[in-house]
Amino acid sequence: MATRVFVCGVAAAASLAVAGVALPAQSAPAPFNRTASGTVFLPNPVQDLGIETLTDQKDADYAALAPAYHRVTLTDLDGSGTLTGAYVRVKSSTGKPAVSVGGSFPAFHRDTDQFEQVMGYHWVTTAQAYLQHLGFGSTLRPVNQRQIEVRINQFGGDNSFFRPDKANITLGKGGVDDAEDAEVIVHEYGHSVQDGQVGGFGTSLESGAIGEAFGDYLAVVVTSWAAGAPTDPPEACVADWDSVSYTRLVPHCLRRLDGVKHYPEDVIGEVHADGEIWSRALWDIRTAVGDTKASTLIVEAQFAFAPDTSFRAAALDTVAAARRLYGASAANAVTKAFQARGIL
Q: Which is nearer to Zn ion, 45 or 190 (CB)?
A: 190
Q: Which is nearer to Zn ion, 16 or 65 (CB)?
A: 16
Distance in Å, CB of 273 to Zn ion, minimum: 12
Binders of Zn ion among residues 215 to 274 (CB under 5 A) are: 215
Residue 187: what residue type?
H
Distance in Å, CB of 60 to Zn ion, minimum: 28
Distance in Å, CB of 78 to Zn ion, minimum: 28
164 binds Zn ion (CB under 5 A): no
**CA-atom Rg of the chain in angstroms:** 19
Instruction: Please choose, out of 7-15, 219-227, 254-262, 296-304, the segment that lies near Zn ion by the rule CB under 5 A.
Output: 7-15
3-class SS string, the chain:
CCCCCCEEEECCHHHHHHHCCCCCCCCCCCCCCEEEEEEEECCCHHHHHCCCCCCCCCCCCCHHHHHHEEEEEEEEECCCCCCEECCEEEEECCCCCCCCECCECCCCCCCCHHHHHHHHHHHHHHHHHHHHHHCECCCECCCCCCCEEEEECCCCCCEEEEECCCCEEEECCCCCCHHHCHHHHHHHHHHHHHHHHCCCCCCCHHHHHHHHHHHHHHHHHHHHHHHCCCCCCCCCEECCCHHHHCCCCCCCCCEECCCCCCCCCCCCCCHHHHHHHHHHHHHHHHHHHCHHHHHHHHHHHHCCCCCCCCHHHHHHHHHHHHHHHHCHHHHHHHHHHHHHCCCC
Q: What CA–CA distance (Å, rounded) separates 179 from 59? A: 12
Distance in Å, CB of 56 to Zn ion, minimum: 21
**Which residue of this chain has its Cβ atom nearest to Zn ion in the complex?**
8
Q: Which is nearer to Zn ion, 185 or 316 (CB)?
A: 185
The site for Zn ion, by CB under 5 A, has a size of: 3
8 binds Zn ion (CB under 5 A): yes
Q: Which is nearer to Zn ion, 38 or 175 (CB)?
A: 175
Instruction: Please choose, out of 2-10, 120-128, 227-235, 279-287, the segment that lies near Zn ion by the rule CB under 5 A.
Output: 2-10
Instruction: Please choose, out of 120-128, 212-220, 274-282, 287-295, the segment that lies near Zn ion by the rule CB under 5 A.
Output: 212-220
Q: Which is nearer to Zn ion, 8 or 294 (CB)?
A: 8
Distance in Å, CB of 292 to Zn ion, minimum: 24
Distance in Å, CB of 275 to Zn ion, minimum: 8
Q: Which is nearer to Zn ion, 183 or 212 (CB)?
A: 212
Distance in Å, CB of 281 to Zn ion, minimum: 17
Instruction: Please choose, out of 131-139, 147-155, 206-214, 219-227, the segment that lies near Zn ion by the rule CB under 5 A.
Output: 206-214
Distance in Å, CB of 245 to Zn ion, minimum: 17
Task: State the maximum Cα–Cα separation within the chain, in Å, rounded to a whole number.
Answer: 58
Q: What CA–CA distance (Å, rounded) separates 144 from 171? A: 19
Distance in Å, CB of 161 to Zn ion, minimum: 7
Planar angle of CA 280, 281, 286, nearest 5 degrees: 95
Binders of Zn ion among residues 174 to 193 (CB under 5 A) are: none
Instruction: Please choose, out of 18-26, 74-82, 208-216, 319-327, the segment that lies near Zn ion by the rule CB under 5 A.
Output: 208-216
Q: Which is nearer to Zn ion, 215 or 251 (CB)?
A: 215
Q: Which is nearer to Zn ion, 43 or 215 (CB)?
A: 215
Q: What CA–CA distance (Å, rounded) separates 76 from 211? A: 27
Interface residues toward Zn ion, by CB under 5 A: 8, 212, 215
